[in-house]
Amino acid sequence: MPSNISNPSQETNRAALLATTRSDGARKFNQRRHLIDTGDLTRDEVSSIMATAETAKHIIARDKSPLNLLNDKVVANVFYENSTRTRSSFTLAAQTLGAQVINLDINTSSVTKGETIFDTASTLIAMGADALIQRHASSGAASQLSNAVPSYVSVVNAGDGWNAHPTQALLDLFTMQEICGNVEGRKLAIIGDVKHSRVARSNIRLLTNLGVDVHVCAPPPLMPEGLSEMGVTTHYELSPALERADFVMALRMQLERQQDGLITSLDDYRKIWRLDHARMKRAKSTVRLFHPGPINRGVELTSELADDPSISAIHLQVTNGIPVRMAVLLLLLNSEDSHR
């Protein structure tokens, strides 16, 4: 079917999506202006994001043509760290909503000449950017940027240091809900380098608020201080963490951790913590495996496990990233009933 403005099904799709932006939770999230992390999102805000994402997913499953909902908006991807999936996912999400997308290539931009994140942001705002999607190696960079931008600009955190990666956590929740409906009371085991993981932190903050029983398993030097204060159960051994889990989330184990002496070796890590079919038997028979990517095949999980469609939800996570990011952008930027 050719896509154009007068496409009647596109009209219906737009109306359906816009309808999801009128709930109390959606309005509350819209007034927030920024998405920095998941910890202080209320249940109704989370529900509104999930509802919009669900509608978006149905629409793009049938028709990927632009929806002309954010035609007057410019979205800038500002990635100070390498990213393949998150950046592409945000780009597709913004374009599907009709927004124009600027992709700042950090390696060739003036950032390498020492420009600060605030100066870079000002330049993009001067070009008309309505939203800045920022990834930065320093924890707090998104929060600091959101405090510095003018009131008509939204900041979406696409990852800041070890601190937060809210859209990843939201797409993980969306995927879990797609699999099991309500996540309350379900057990999630997060396995691996939790200390350096913003994905783990954002998931812990989001999912503990929703009543998920979050367990964490990490080698002792990679287990952050005081994690139990965040409402999770901690383990050094894999078996009790996996026991009757509904979801298992493996994290990327980098060679760098061995070089820093935080693990004895990748082989030792494999011996104790690598996920495989045999070890996954401790979990529920319906268990699904998550991974934020990119995966290190054979290190944190076996190739067989990663590629087993009956267990692995990794591709589903990636697919769901687009409707979830569409929901975040639409809810933050849509000005239908805000005063911006």
Partner 1 sequence: MTTGKILLRRGLIVPPHQPGKGTKKEFHRADVRIADGVIKEISEELAEASDETVIEANDLWITPGLIDIHTHLRDLNQAGKETIESGTRAAAAGGFTTVVSMANTDPPTDTPRIFSIIKDKIEETACIRVLPLAAVTLGLKGEQLTEMAQLAELGAIAFSDDGMPLHNLAVMARGLQFAKLLNKTIISHPEDHALSKKGCMHDSQYATKLGLEGIPSVSESACVAREIEVVRAVGGRLHFAHVSTCEAIQLIKRAKEDGLSVTAEVSPHHITLADEDIRDFDTRFKMNPPLRSKRDQNQLVEALKEGIFDAIATDHAPHTKQEKAQAFASAPFGIIGLETAFSVVYQRLVKEEHLTINELIYLLTSGPASVIGLPDPALVAGSRADIAVIDPKRDWTYQTTKGFSKSSNSPYDGVMLSAKVVATIANGKIVYQDRL
List contacts with partner 1 (CB under 8 A). 116-118, 136, 138-141, 143-144, 147, 160-164, 198, 201, 224-227, 229-230
CB of 236 to partner 1, least distance (A): 16
Rounded to a whole number of angstroms, the minimum distance from the CB of residue 269 to partner 1 is: 20
Query: CB of 79: closest distance to partner 1 in angstroms?
Result: 16
| Shortest Å distance, C-beta 120 to partner 1 | 13
- What is the chain's length? 340
Cα 214 from Cα 220, distance rounded (Å): 18
For partner 1, give the closer residue by CB, 140 or 211.
140
56 contacts: CB under 8 Å, gap ≥ 6: 17, 96, 322, 323, 326, 327, 330
Least distance (Å) from partner 1 to the CB of residue 170?
Answer: 17
Q: CB 212 → partner 1: shortest distance, Å?
A: 18
Closest by CA to 18, choosing from 334, 300, 298, 296, is 334
**Closer Cβ to partner 1, 139 or 233, answer by number:** 139
Query: Nearer to partner 1 by C-beta: 181 or 226?
Result: 226
Closer to partner 1 by Cβ: residue 2 or 226? 226
CB-CB contact of 223 with 194 (8 Å): yes
User: Which residues lie across from 43 on neighbouring strands?
Assistant: none
Complex with partner 1: residue 10 or 254, whichever CB lies closer: 254
Nearer to partner 1, 136 or 325 (CB): 136
Q: How far is residue 52's CA from residue 71's CA, in Å, rounded to a whole number?
A: 18
Q: How would you classify residue 140: left for phi > 0, otherwise alpha for psi between -120 and 50, otherwise beta?
A: left
Kindly state the smallest distance separating residue 73's Cβ from partner 1, in Å: 27
- Return the number of the residue (95 or 144) whose C-beta is nearest partner 1: 144
